[in-house]
Structure 1
Amino acid sequence: MDGRPGFPQPNRWLVASVAGTVAVAVISAAIGFIVLPTAQDGPQYRGIWNAICSAAGVSRHWVENESIVFPRGGPVSAVTITPQTLSRRDPEAVQRGGVLATRCAGCHNTSQAVAPLLAGQDAAFVYKQLSDFQSGARTNVIMTSIVKELTDRDMLDVAQYFASSGHVASGDDKSVETEPSIVAHGNPTKNVVSCAVCHGGVDHKAGAPFLQGLSASYLSTQLNAFAVSERHNDSGEQMRNIARNLTETEIKEAAAYYAGLKGRTTGVTWP
């Protein structure tokens, strides 16, 4: 034994640099995940755990003893949509829904820019929107007054009628190369998936509307409403989270693209 210690003395500069790096990381995390979020107003920022989840972008139930979020004093949708929702057509329901839908023709037709064309639309989507207008999760003076007297069966039948009164065409007069990047690829750097993943083209999510042929004005209005939470009937906040991260140019490009598609067949029969 030569009397030297069994382990070499640590390099003080290395220890200092590692300690400094760890300290900076801890302080930055504390500021970004706790200090800044808790400085915001709203129940979703109450408490350290809620602040951390909010800063990390994790959707959760923020308010104690509440099962859903109520942004800006309004409820979100309580309708649960699955791939099986209204997946089977009922001829009797379609016929009854056609009678009920006579009042819809004035607004939901190809000549209107402020109301969506519903012929051939996803049945689960139509049912969900009607239910949301009735519950107050989605608001519109005209629609709220129309649906307030409808029963759940009425809304189911109307949804089946519209889904069977036309169909979304699989082809269009534009090539894939003309699709805006936000439609075809999304924006991974901002955690935005492509529109085609949920709204048809790549895949279709249950309860998501088909966008082909809808007016650019209507689409832009809805995206901007989601972006500022004026519209908040997306139960999982998926559209609000996406719309907040879209630029004005991306919204205009997506709206113009879908408006230009030949989305529906002609010759839709109204009751």
Structure 2
Amino acid sequence: MDGKPVFSMTNRWLVASVFGTLAIAVISAATGFVLLPMAQSDPQFQGIWNAICSAAGVSRHWAQNESIVFPAVDPVSAVAITPRTLAKNNPDAVQRGGILATRCAGCHNASQVIAPLLAGQDAAFVYKQLSDFQSGARTNVIMTSMVKGLTDRDMRDLAQYFASSGQLISGDAKGIGSEPPIVAHGNPTKNVVSCAVCHGGVDHKAGAPFLQGLSASYLSAQLSAFAAGQRHNDAGEQMRNIARNLTKAEINDAASYYARLKDSATDGTRN
């Protein structure tokens, strides 16, 4: 021992440790509170002060004449679905919808693999998707142009027509066999419920599509789009949260299973 006090500026080890710790703290703070937030394009991160406060979770109430609610990057669906939405069949609406649906037959028929079969589909689901295509909450070059000029009544009529034009049945009735685990049980370890809970088989959620008979390529494409955030018209990001937790094998299993289920109609003439 040389008798020098430990806590002294003459102790080079103390000085080195103190300044080293301070340097690490400054670099970490600059990276976490300034550099990383400023790399984001969202409005709340614009400017160093906003970046620091946003990273720290501080409210921006000090900003005069500025809303603290920031708009979503992408348009979201404005359609609220309840169990009563289009639940009552209207014969006049079905007749009007049948006339409008003549434009849909070229794509939405049993022979197509890139467009969903709509015969027997849930009316609320069809109405919501048409509305979302019109508002931009869901995008598709063909569908965006097809819904231009449709009134709200037109979309409701189309939805009721398609819902009444077929009768989708379960895979058990066709002797398909047991469902894959993701369809029958989901994946509890990832907080993913079974597909059958919302899409028919066990139960049906209002506004959720029936998946029986839809092509494997269409279903896998939609699940992948939800997982990547390219499709974002699901209420509360429910499908996005589910799809992000699905493996590629689970997506393929679910898509292949539902594609094997057939519509009860065999004449192949439904739109």
Is this a same-fold pair by TM over 0.5? yes
Q: Quick one: which amino acid aligns to residue 155 of structure 2?
A: M
- Structure 1: tracts of 5 or more residues without a match: 1-33, 51-62
Spell out the pairing of 1:14-163 with structure 2 (5 A cutoff). 41=40, 43=42, 46=54, 64-65=68-69, 70=72, 73-163=73-163
SS class of match (1:237): helix
Change (3 A) 1:252 1:224: same
CA distance in 2, matches of 1:191, 1:173: 30
CA distance in 2, matches of 1:140, 1:126: 15
Contact 1:173 1:262 in 2 (8 A): no
- Structure 2: tracts of 5 or more residues without a match: 1-31, 46-53, 59-66
Q: Quick one: which amino acid aligns to residue 111 of structure 1?
A: S
CA distance in 2, matches of 1:188, 1:64: 36
Contact 1:213 1:263 in 2 (8 A): yes
Residue equivalent to 2:174:
172
- The one-character-per-residue Cα deviations of 1:1-52 (angstroms, maximum 9, x if unpaired) are xxxxxxxxxxxxxxxxxxxxxxxxxxxxxxxxx99xx8684659945559xx
Q: Quick one: which amino acid aligns to residue 65 of structure 1?
A: V
Change (3 A) 1:268 1:130: same
CA distance in 1, matches of 2:264, 2:245: 29
CA distance in 1, matches of 2:263, 2:89: 21
Give the superposition deviation at 1:196.
0.5
Change (3 A) 1:169 1:270: closer
CA distance in 1, matches of 2:56, 2:210: 40
Residue correspondences, number: 218
Change (3 A) 1:270 1:188: closer
- The one-character-per-residue Cα deviations of 1:68-113 (angstroms, maximum 9, x if unpaired) are x63xx32111100000000000000000000000000000001100
The TM-score normalised by the length of structure 1 is 0.75
Contact 1:226 1:240 in 2 (8 A): yes
Residue equivalent to 1:250:
250
CA distance in 2, matches of 1:42, 1:203: 41
Deviates more, 1:256-265 or 1:135-144: 256-265
Change (3 A) 1:174 1:76: same
SS class of match (2:174): coil
Contact 1:121 1:163 in 2 (8 A): yes
Change (3 A) 1:41 1:155: same
SS class of match (1:236): helix
CA distance in 2, matches of 1:216, 1:241: 21
Q: Quick one: which amino acid aligns to residue 172 of structure 1?
A: K
The TM-score normalised by the length of structure 2 is 0.75
Contact 2:110 2:268 in 1 (8 A): no
Contact 1:86 1:124 in 2 (8 A): yes
CA distance in 2, matches of 1:154, 1:81: 18
**What CA RMSD, in Å, does the superposition of the two structures yield over aligned residues?**
2.3
Change (3 A) 1:74 1:179: same
